[in-house]
Amino acid sequence: MNIPDKSLATTQWLDRFARALQHNDIAAALALFADTSYWRDLVAFTWNIVTFEGQDAIGNMLQARLADVQPHSFVIDGADGWFTFETEVGRGRGHLRLKDGKAWTFLTALTELKSFEEKSGPTREIGTQHGAIPNRVTWTDRRQADTAELGITRQPFVLIVGAGQGGLGLGARLKRLGVPTLIVDRHERPGDAWRKRYKSLCLHDPVWYDHLPYLPFPDHWPIYTPKDKMGDWLEAYAKIMELDIWNSTACKSAAWDEVRSEWTVEVDRAGESFTLKPKHLVLATGMSGFPQVPRFPGADRFRGTQHHSSDHPGGEGWSGKRCVVVGANNSAHDIAGDLWEHGADVTMIQRSPTLVARSETLARIGRPLYSEEAVHAGITTEIADFTAASWPYALQPAAARPVTAQMKKEDADFYDRLKAAGFQLTFGEDETGIGQMYMRRGSGYYIDVGASDLIADGRIKLCAGVEIDHLTESAVVLKDGRALAADLVVYATGYGSMNQWAAALISQEVADKVGKCWGLGSDTAKDPGPWEGELRNMWKPTAQEGLWFHGGNLAQSRHYSRYLALQLKARLERIATPVYGMTPVHHRA
């Protein structure tokens, strides 16, 4: 059998690495890594999500964790650097990139816990008991019992706040792992968070990027999912995955009991008060906090309608009216375009530069792993997710710059038209584009699905690079003195930090203790250092015992829910989970 040179080199490297670990020879293991190298671990070695940069950091981790982890059985799994491995408590998947025979990037990811594997394929449950059985307990009986008991006479091990795509996907993984989980959400039905947005809203990411765990969209699904269709899918997903959800339920407060190591969570369920006692609390409320509504002088005297973009129902009823949209990100463009389609006179106020990418170009150049071509090439969603995860964040800016440059080149005419209309463009502080801006919570961005043409040819009016001074009874007055007559003002001004939910639900003290959520510490404008190399506090242990954050876009929620679910399952089964690489306290401020 002929083994490709690349696969042979990977096999030889893994053999030497496995021998070094087996003999506790950390020096020999480190000698296999390049001077500039990166080991990204997703729970397998550290019970954390952390990247070690350089030999010293890698050596310190191995010195602390090797005896407990006991890694073994490293086996190449196909070409291109993929392998599988085992630890004392689990099995995992990894990836290796070599430079001059030494490891440049190394990924280890826990995929299952031994003795607690998900039942699937040949191990799936039979679903019934054949034969004549008096007083048979059916599937319906069990589901009704779960609904009647969980949160009432039997407490959940995990309480998830939020029944959006993140909370539902995590709930599905925990269900498959047998972790008693209750999801609470303020909306009447799963998916209502999508249904209640403006009518024209569609996902800006393509279908291949947006699958939920276990249940991919069918082949006929549109590339860009309309928001009501997404809402229906989420509601169906919750039923199919047999999730236990309390809808129309608002969380009022949560407090951690140090003695009992559990939460006391007070909720209002359709007007009835309940006290829940979960061991773990997951805030699955997206990647953002509360809507940010600027307080301009005179806003209380404005006689028209004003609201945040999150409360905007759509463009119906605004035909012939004068509408001002404050902001220039995705929501601002979508809402401005929707208002124009309904016959409104629309002006967008762009207060700072915006990154714009045409949706077709971004899908083709920026996300080649998630495409119809990738599917035909045998790249499954799981392969795409692991491939994306195998790149350390520190290396992503260098990889993003040529992609951004190519997009600028291919769409030069498009950008020239926007600039001619006065639109202020950015491609990130270091020309790294949308992906890095999203990770860093940088300036606003827009994935163009049509509104840019309306701006370029003047059908949506533009006031760029100017701030609002005040409002009058009938107008928005800018700092340069211009007055924009308005019947409607929509504040598409974004959201605060995700840990605002912790402050509101638990306390400001706990929010401060946990620190920032999201961001890498890249030392850019909205992502101050120090460098952490991973998204802060996401999908991993936080400084507050029993508190977790889950969110991100659909792809991130899908992939990283695996690791959060495994961490919670390990704690349910009382598997030792010593966390290595926790963020130092001084980094949380």
pLDDT band at 99 (very low <50, low <70, confident <90, very high): very high
Q: pLDDT of 141-182, one tens digit each?
A: 989 998 999 999 999 999 999 999 999 999 999 999 999 999
Q: Cα separation of 196 and 193, whole Å?
A: 6
Cβ–Cβ < 8 Å for 471, 299: yes
Let me know if the fold of 5-113 is the same as that of 140-289+498-587: no
Q: Cα separation of 494 and 291, whole Å?
A: 6
Task: Evaluate if residue 187 carries a pLDDT over 60.
Answer: yes
pLDDT band at 584 (very low <50, low <70, confident <90, very high): low
Task: Evaluate if residue 201 carries a pLDDT over 80.
Answer: yes
At residue 524, the pLDDT reads: 86
> End-to-end CA distance of the chain, in Å?
57
Which structure tokens are listed for 544?
A: 């507050």
Single out the residue of 296, 297, 294, 334 nearest to residue 312, CA to CA: 334
Cβ–Cβ < 8 Å for 491, 327: yes
Q: Cα separation of 162 and 193, whole Å?
A: 10
At residue 442, the pLDDT reads: 64
pTM above 0.85, yes or no: yes
Domain boundaries, the chain: 5-113, 140-289+498-587, 299-491
pLDDT band at 130 (very low <50, low <70, confident <90, very high): confident
Average pLDDT, stretch 562-572? 98
Q: How far, in Å, are 418, 436, 535 from residue 394 at the CA level?
A: 32, 11, 12
Identify which has the larger pLDDT, 51 or 292.
51
Cβ–Cβ < 8 Å for 453, 375: no
Cβ–Cβ < 8 Å for 10, 102: no
Average pLDDT, stretch 402-418? 96
Task: Evaluate if residue 3 carries a pLDDT over 50.
Answer: no
At residue 148, the pLDDT reads: 92
Which structure tokens are listed for 18?
A: 């496995």
Helices (H) and strands (E) in the chain, counts: 18, 24
Q: Cα separation of 200 and 225, whole Å?
A: 11
Q: Indicate left, alpha or beta for 520 from its phi (over 0: left) and psi (-120 to 50: alpha).
A: alpha
At residue 5, the pLDDT reads: 59
Average pLDDT, stretch 26-48? 98
Three-state SS string over 361-389 comes to: HHHHHHCCCCCHHHHHCCCCHHHHHHHHH
Task: Evaluate if residue 197 carries a pLDDT over 90.
Answer: no
Q: Cα separation of 527 and 80, whole Å?
A: 33
pLDDT band at 192 (very low <50, low <70, confident <90, very high): very high
Please provide the CATH number assigned to the domain covering 299-491.
3.50.50.60
Q: Cα separation of 392 and 398, whole Å?
A: 11
At residue 2, the pLDDT reads: 40
Identify which has the larger pLDDT, 496 or 71.
71
Please give the full DSSP string across 488-517, using - where no structure is assigned.
EEEE---B--TTHHHHHHT-HHHHHHH---
Which structure tokens are listed for 356?
A: 């714009």
Percent composition of the chain: helix, strand, coil (DSSP 3-state, to 5): 35, 25, 40
CATH topology of domain 5-113: Nuclear Transport Factor 2; Chain: A, (3.10.450)
At residue 440, the pLDDT reads: 79
Single out the residue of 292, 294, 293, 291 nearest to residue 470, CA to CA: 294
At residue 469, the pLDDT reads: 97
Which pairing describes strands 82-86 and 90-99: parallel, antiparallel, or unpaired? antiparallel
Return the DSSP state at 585. G
Q: pLDDT of 69-87, one tens digit each?
A: 999 999 999 878 999 999 9
At residue 435, the pLDDT reads: 81
Which structure tokens are listed for 396?
A: 């992503």
Task: Evaluate if residue 1 carries a pLDDT over 50.
Answer: no
Which runs of consecutive H residues, i.e. helices, occur in 304-370?
330-341, 359-361
Q: Cα separation of 533 and 521, whole Å?
A: 7
What is the percent of the chain with per-residue pLDDT over 90, rounded to a whole number?
82
Candidate from 72-76, 95-99, 142-146, 567-571 with smallest mean pLDDT: 142-146
Cis omega (within 30 of 0) for bond into 392: no
At residue 585, the pLDDT reads: 53
Considering just the CA atoms, what is the radius of gyration of the chain in Å?
A: 25
Average pLDDT, stretch 418-438? 91
Max intra-chain CA distance, the chain: 84
pLDDT band at 569 (very low <50, low <70, confident <90, very high): very high
Task: Evaluate if residue 523 carries a pLDDT over 60.
Answer: yes
At residue 414, the pLDDT reads: 97
Candidate from 50-54, 143-147, 234-238, 389-393 with smallest mean pLDDT: 143-147
- One-letter amino acid identity for 320? G
Q: Cα separation of 455 and 356, whole Å?
A: 12
Instruction: Specify the 3-state DSSP secondary structure of 554.
Output: helix
pLDDT band at 408 (very low <50, low <70, confident <90, very high): very high
Q: Cα separation of 226 and 231, whole Å?
A: 9
Q: Cα separation of 47 and 21, whole Å?
A: 19
Multiple choice CATH, 140-289+498-587, 3.90.1640.10, 3.30.300.210, 3.50.50.60, 1.20.210.10: 3.50.50.60
Q: pLDDT of 338-371, one tens digit each?
A: 999 999 999 999 999 999 999 889 888 888 899 9
Q: pLDDT of 222-246, one tens digit each?
A: 999 999 999 999 999 999 999 999 9
Q: Cα separation of 467 and 294, whole Å?
A: 11
Q: Cα separation of 24 and 22, whole Å?
A: 6
Q: pLDDT of 240-270, one tens digit each?
A: 999 999 999 999 999 999 999 999 999 999 9
Please give the backbone phi and psi of residue 98, each rounded to the nearest 5 degrees, phi first. Answer: -100, 145
Candidate from 129-133, 260-264, 405-409, 465-469 with smallest mean pLDDT: 129-133
At residue 425, the pLDDT reads: 96
- One-letter amino acid identity for 556? Q
pLDDT band at 332 (very low <50, low <70, confident <90, very high): very high
Task: Evaluate if residue 280 carries a pLDDT over 60.
Answer: yes
